[in-house]
Amino acid sequence: MDASPPPPKAISIAILAMGGEGGGVLADWLIDMAERAGSHVQATSVPGVAQRTGATIYYVEIFPGIAVVAGKLPVLALMPMPGDVDVVIASELMEAGRAVQRGLVTPARTTLIASTHRVYSMTERTAMADGRVDSAKLIDGARAAAKHLLAADFAEIAEKSGSVISAALFGALFACGLLPFPRSDFEGAIRRSGLGVDASLRAFARAYDVASAGQETAAAANDQPPVPPPASLRAAIATFPSASRATIEAGCSRLVDFQDVAYAQAYLDRLEPFRTTGDVRLLTEVARHLALWMSYEDIARVADLKIRRSRFSRVAEEVRAGNDQILRIKEFLHPRLSEIADALPAGIGRWLLRSASAGAVVRRFTAKGRVVETTSIGGFLLLYAAAGLRRIRRRSLRFAVEQQRIEAWLGEIHGAAGRNDALALAIAECQQLVKGYGDTHARGLANYETVMATLPRLQGRPDAAERLSKLRQAALADDSGERLKAATLELVP
Amino acid sequence: MIPADLSEGIPVAERSFKKEAEKLRLGDGAEFHGEGILAVTKALLQSGVAYVAGYQGAPISHLMDVLTDSADILRELGVHFEHSASEATAAATLAASINYPLRGAVTFKSTVGTNVASDALANLASGGVTGGALIIVGEDYGEGSSIMQERSHAFAMKSQIWLLDPRPNLPSIVAAVESGFELSEASRTPVMLELRIRACHVHGRFTARDNKRPSFTLKQAMENPVRDTSRIVLPPASYLHEREKIEKRWPAAVEFIKSRGLNEFFSDGKTDIGIILQGGMYNTVARALELLGLADAFGDSRIPLYVLNVTYPLIDDEIRRFCAGKRAVLMVEEGQPDFIEQALHAILRKADLQTRVHGKDVLPKAGEYTGDAVLRGLRRFLEQVAPSLLPVALPAGAAEPGQPKAPAIAAAEAEVHPRPPSFCTGCPERPIFTAMKLVERELGPHHVSCDIGCHLFSILPPFNLGASTMGYGLGWAGAAALNAKDSTRRTISVMGDGGFWHNGLASGVGNAVFNQTDNVLIIVDNNYTAATGGQDIMSSSGGNPLRKTGNSIEKAVRGVGVTWVKTITNTYGIAAMRDVLKEALTTPVKGPKVVIAQSECMLNKQRRVRPLMHRLAKEGKRVVRERFGVDHDTCTGDHSCIRLSGCPSLTVKSNPDPLRKDPVATVLDSCVGCGVCGEVAHAAVLCPSFYRADIVTNPTRWERLVAGVRRRVIGFLQDRIERRLGAASA
């Protein structure tokens, strides 16, 4: 073995950031800090223009001044080389995955600093149901690939400090201890950049604390605390198996909120047969989907949800409106003839849909979408009145239609339950297809009917549940119905 | 949308390069710190350049931007600077160096810009130059490139323009500019300086020299015109030019390159193998050698290197000298065809040298020479010719790709999606394509011919619109053949304002008029060339003291004979946009139809408006911020809204509802309130979940009063709602 010290080498840092995330700012801080400390620095990037392209890699090499041999300049690389990167900073979790995919993160050498928050890709966002990838897999892969992993929700840290993620990541970079510069040098670079200095220093400090504690934090969940169901129903709910109770409680609360206690009681009555037939998983899923179906979205429901005080405060918080500011909320509504007919008593609703002249009049008023300001008295009263349609909901056209559909659906589930619980579950899950408003709702319902129509031909097959689930997934694969058509041909004999 | 009282500022792309411009003033001995392309700019001034022209585009936009903000420095030095109408214009500008001892430089993105410029470049190269003529091309090749993958090398060869490819550090790049002018003058030939993307953006330092005023001025040239028919491309001079290139200019260039030592030899004689490389590949090769333990951090290599800072012409003598006595050499030449490698074979064959030549047998035949590609290539080369030099433990990057990976890593990699480019938050081009999607729903799909510019992102999700793109300004020309008189469906072409003025007015609009098309063109006008960073063009609506802006696209279109022209001044009005497109596609009126869709680039607009709003709010003035939001309790998680928009600010989040699993749509705080979400919800009859929040800072006294009354009335009714809900859930 050679006993001499290892030859001097550049410290290499790759920053993967998306447009607008301040990857360039981070690189500039690094350059400024290192140059002031007398190091040789080279930085390159293949910049995406602002937000228009995906992730950009900023690559910085720092050659400590002390290591320079007189009369010689270090030759620094222009791009990260797999196996030769000391620190990879990923401003987002999927970008951390990309750094791993590109081989930049190697177990012998690389410290990976990754923010665990997600900026969803186009594919994830445009999916018709849940197209999001598994964050846990990305974190596990990052841990397996790196020598050290510093993972935390640096975006949240930055936001809480009123700063941007680059400042938090700079703090984590200091925490990883691989750069031969003291804290004052890091902070000096932030100070010299001159913009939002105090907030950036706060984010830097918090991120440093979190990262040096070595505690991985996952992105925070945003679940709401459950609303307890009314006392009068609690005894009935208690008769259901405990594993299903949280869902049933949530279902009851939802239906009380949607209509009244009697409607929630009807919900429990509908669940009753599943208390004894089929397994608890089936019961829970039926309870979940049934509550959703029974609380279908109609004009009254939408108006009701829009005018609540809790909603006003939620909007204020979401848009960050302060107490000294005035907040005006404007709704984009586009009710159509069919939705108006839906809200009317069944007889009148049917007449309206049939009558050419009455339909034409309503259509003229609904040809264009309307903007209603809920924070104005007139707008509020309009929605308040619409929410009042709840009182005649039980007599409405839509109510009648939905109850029929629900009964038919429950009938199918019950028919399979006990005999083939997996199939019963797959049928219950088809409720997922019916969602949205207007054309979206019509398309979802048509898909639901297409899928349910295959049941008679699937019954009795051992893999009926699997095939039905595949059909449901195909219906959610595109909004043109092509995949469902193909899947039906393939899966239904 | 930006409140009216704030949108009346001058709609210019508010980006300042004053700080960078100051660096251009550095004098003898001062240390310059900055980007490669800025170092080139400084080197031009140090070389006594008399005029600079160019056409913006990554990665050389910065050169143009900084010179734009350096008007005073240029004036002091007597340097003329133009934003050319196209790369062809820029190249033709170099004609000033044919007859006069004027140093001139032009710049553009390559190879696309070089394609456009090649007519002028060929004429220039044929006649030859008197003053140094430098063509600075940003080689947009490899990762991050937005264009077809080709080499500028071919242009240099076909026109016999000398090609510089310096080592990618600032001193070498600056030296290349300075010696490039001298080489051009010594050989009466234009010289092309090729800089890869990373070299343009590399941050480094060099020791500056004083700027030089041009020794001969444009004024002198104009007042003392010179004419020499032997320099004009017309027979018989054109035949003489070809011979002169071979007999005089080429030998002169070879002599200059040799005597000045423009190419570099490192560690020659150390072993009996060697590496020949393009200058631009030097740092990557040096790092690969370092990782294999064959060089130190300062580039001191155990394998001899011959660095071609001039990649065309090749210096046969130098190659023969380097190869003589070597068993084998590795040619590191990025891109294809492998012009240099082929030439190397020919030179050695003619000299009857038996040195084995490796190159694209061990290195990738196509694609960027990334660090790991070079490292692997070098490893394969050494395995064949000198395995004893290889270290026992190979670095990670030297392994062949496709090795099995740990399951956790493979699982993580499977979760990674590509992130193709898309429109920015609030982009005014998005609603144009949303409207096209809505028209498509009604009328069925149409053939869509695309152009170059941000609007080309329409071909990607979520819009998936567009069949071809033929080049800048060629959107309508790309649909020229699809002009059957009996078709029941028209074609749609798209062109940006940049492409329109670049050549689209003649090649697209004029052509359509002349050939009696019946099809539709959409011209996307966002106030300046947004895609390249907001440079002004003919139709820019903001004033520019140095240029004449405000020239109407509509007038130009009508001027060449289009009569059916509709201008939409607010692209965010999706219903209006949809209706005008539908009309253009269905009107019985025959002849070319042009829709001009105008709204300012939001990215650049926000750079101007955000700080302004911030300032006004601080000063106590009334400011309204608008943004959109989604009510998660009415959103059912279908995401149709995202499929019709794709806005980065419109995304999904976990459903807070314990009963629902599908994520709901949500609007991030980066929303600029452009209005598209509301328009989409209306025009496509989506869902009632969208709201717009107007947040009024420093409201007027009257507003406070009204708000107070509203709060009381609404609060009273909200109390009632809460009582009902409370009673029901008790």
Is there a contact between A437 and B657 if contact means CB atoms under 8 Å apart? no
- Rounded to the nearest angstrom, the minimum Cα separation between B115 and chain A is 23
pLDDT at B8: 40
Tell me the chain B residues in contact with residue A305 when contact means C-beta distances shorter than 8 Å: 631, 633-634
- Search chain B and give the residue with CA nearest A288: B659
pLDDT at residue B613 tops 90: yes
Backbone angles phi, psi at B191, to 5 degrees: -125, 135
pLDDT at residue B10 tops 50: no
Mean of the pLDDT values across residues B332-351? Answer: 98
Q: What is the CATH number of the domain that holds B344?
A: 3.40.50.920
pLDDT at A136: 96
Tell me the chain A residues in contact with residue B638 when contact means C-beta distances shorter than 8 Å: 128, 435-436, 440, 444
pLDDT at A141: 97
Q: What is the CATH number of the domain that holds B145?
A: 3.40.50.970
- Sequence-distant (6+) residues with CB within 8 A of A71 are none
Q: Looking at the domain assignment, is residue B675 inside a domain?
A: yes
Mean of the pLDDT values across residues A16-21? Answer: 83
Which parts of B69-215 are beta strand (E)? 80-83, 104-110, 133-139, 162-164, 191-196, 203-207
Tell me the chain A residues in contact with residue B109 when contact means C-beta distances shorter than 8 Å: none
The per-residue pLDDT for range B297-317, each reduced to its tens digit, is 999 999 999 999 999 999 999
pLDDT at A26: 95
Number of neighbours of residue B215 by Cβ within 10 angstroms: 12
Work out the pLDDT band at B11, boundaries 50, 70, 90: very low
- Rounded to the nearest angstrom, the minimum Cα separation between B730 and chain A is 5
The tokens describing B31, both together, are 């240390």
Which residue did the predictor score with more confidence, A334 or B104?
A: B104
The per-residue pLDDT for range A184-195, each reduced to its tens digit, is 999 999 999 988
Residues B69, B199, single domain; the answer is yes
For chain B positions 625-644, those within 8 Å of chain A (CB to CB) are 627, 629, 631, 633-634, 636-640, 642-643
Total of domains in chain B = 4
Question: Which domain range does residue B706 map to?
Answer: 607-716
pLDDT at residue A367 tops 70: yes
pLDDT at B145: 85
Tell me the chain B residues in contact with residue A226 when contact means C-beta distances shorter than 8 Å: 658
Is there a contact between B639 and A128 if contact means CB atoms under 8 Å apart? yes
Superfamily per CATH, domain A11-213 = Pyruvate-ferredoxin oxidoreductase, PFOR, domain III (3.40.920.10)
Residues B122, B234, single domain; the answer is yes
Q: Which amino acid appears at position B285 of this protein?
A: V
pLDDT at residue B127 tops 50: yes
- Rounded to the nearest angstrom, the minimum Cα separation between B694 and chain A is 5
Residues B119, B137, single domain; the answer is yes
Residues B253, B132, single domain; the answer is yes
The per-residue pLDDT for range B548-583, each reduced to its tens digit, is 999 999 999 999 999 999 999 999 999 999 999 999
C-alpha closest to that of B177 among B103, B91, B122, B285: B103
pLDDT at residue A260 tops 60: yes
- Search chain B and give the residue with CA nearest A260: B728
Q: Looking at the domain assignment, is residue B47 inside a domain?
A: yes
Q: Which of B259, B282, B306 is the last residue of a domain?
A: B259
Number of neighbours of residue A192 by Cβ within 10 angstroms: 13
Lowest-confidence segment of A90-94, B71-75, B538-542 by average pLDDT: B538-542
- Sequence-distant (6+) residues with CB within 8 A of A322 are none
Mean pLDDT of chain B: 94
For chain B positions 142-171, those within 8 Å of chain A (CB to CB) are 142-144, 168-169
Residue B119 contacts residue B88 (beta carbons within 8 Å):
yes
Provide the H-helix boundaries in A295-332: 299-306, 309-318
pLDDT at B9: 41
3-state SS, residue A414: helix
Residue B579 contacts residue B549 (beta carbons within 8 Å):
no
Residues B577, B625, single domain; the answer is no
Residues B204, B94, single domain; the answer is yes
Q: Which amino acid appears at position B491 of this protein?
A: T
Residues B239, B288, single domain; the answer is no
pLDDT at residue B709 tops 80: yes
pLDDT at B141: 94
Q: Which of B604, B636, B671 is the last residue of a domain?
A: B604
Q: Looking at the domain assignment, is residue B15 inside a domain?
A: no
Q: Looking at the domain assignment, is residue B625 inside a domain?
A: yes
pLDDT at B338: 98
- Sequence-distant (6+) residues with CB within 8 A of A245 are A237, A238
Give me the DSSP letters along A199-265: HHHHHHHHHHHHHHHT---PPPP-PPPPPPPPHHHHHHHHTS-HHHHHHHHHHHHHHHHHT-HHHHH
Q: Where are the domains of chain A?
A: 11-213, 232-295, 299-396, 404-493
Is there a contact between A437 and B686 if contact means CB atoms under 8 Å apart? yes
Residues B122, B175, single domain; the answer is yes
Q: How far is A344 from A482, CA to CA, in rounded Å?
A: 35
pLDDT at A343: 92
Lowest-confidence segment of A244-258, B18-32, B394-408 by average pLDDT: B394-408
pLDDT at residue B326 tops 60: yes
Residues B550, B500, single domain; the answer is yes
Mean of the pLDDT values across residues B265-272? Answer: 94
Residue A195 to residues A24, A199, B606, Cα–Cα distance (Å):
14, 9, 17
Q: Looking at the domain assignment, is residue B316 inside a domain?
A: yes
Q: How far is A119 from A18, CA to CA, in rounded Å?
A: 9
Provide the H-helix boundaries in A388-419: 397-416
Work out the pLDDT band at B1, boundaries 50, 70, 90: very low
Residue A33 contacts residue A177 (beta carbons within 8 Å):
no
Q: How far is A275 from B25, CA to CA, in rounded Å?
A: 84
Interface residue B688 vs chain A (CB under 8 A): yes
Interface residue B682 vs chain A (CB under 8 A): yes
Interface residue B293 vs chain A (CB under 8 A): no
pLDDT at residue B412 tops 60: yes
Residues B592, B533, single domain; the answer is yes
Residue B635 contacts residue A297 (beta carbons within 8 Å):
no
Compute the C-alpha angle A325/A327/A331, nearest 5°.
165
Q: Give ipTM to 2 decimals.
A: 0.93
Task: Using a pLDDT cut of 70, give the percent of chain B over it.
Answer: 98
Mean of the pLDDT values across residues A111-136? Answer: 95
For chain B positions 184-243, those within 8 Å of chain A (CB to CB) are 197-199, 201-204
3-state SS, residue A127: coil
Work out the pLDDT band at B603, boundaries 50, 70, 90: confident
pLDDT at A48: 53
The tokens describing B458, both together, are 């329409």
The per-residue pLDDT for range A19-48, each reduced to its tens digit, is 778 888 999 999 999 999 999 999 998 765
The per-residue pLDDT for range B623-638, each reduced to its tens digit, is 999 999 999 999 999 9
The per-residue pLDDT for range A279-328, each reduced to its tens digit, is 999 999 999 999 999 999 999 999 999 999 999 999 999 999 999 999 99
Q: How far is B106 from B64, CA to CA, in rounded Å?
A: 10
Residues B241, B276, single domain; the answer is no
pLDDT at A487: 94
Residues B159, B62, single domain; the answer is yes
Mean pLDDT of chain A: 91
Tell me the chain A residues in contact with residue B728 when contact means C-beta distances shorter than 8 Å: 230, 256-257, 260-261
Number of neighbours of residue B422 by Cβ within 10 angstroms: 23
pLDDT at A375: 97
The per-residue pLDDT for range A321-363, each reduced to its tens digit, is 999 999 999 999 998 899 999 999 999 999 999 998 988 888 8
Task: Using a pLDDT cut of 90, give the percent of chain A over it.
Answer: 78
Work out the pLDDT band at A3, boundaries 50, 70, 90: low
pLDDT at B654: 94
- Search chain A and give the residue with CA nearest B140: A46
The per-residue pLDDT for range A194-218, each reduced to its tens digit, is 888 999 999 999 999 999 986 555 5
Q: How far is B371 from B332, CA to CA, in rounded Å?
A: 12
C-alpha closest to that of B275 among B285, B283, B284: B285
Is there a contact between A329 and B197 if contact means CB atoms under 8 Å apart? no
- Hey, of B198, B307, B626, B639, which one would you mutate to test binding to chain A, going by the most A CBs within 10 A of its CB? B639
The per-residue pLDDT for range A456-484, each reduced to its tens digit, is 999 888 999 999 999 999 999 988 889 99
Task: Using CB atoms, pick whichever of B396, B416, B652 lies closest to residue A98.
Answer: B416
Mean of the pLDDT values across residues B339-368? Answer: 97
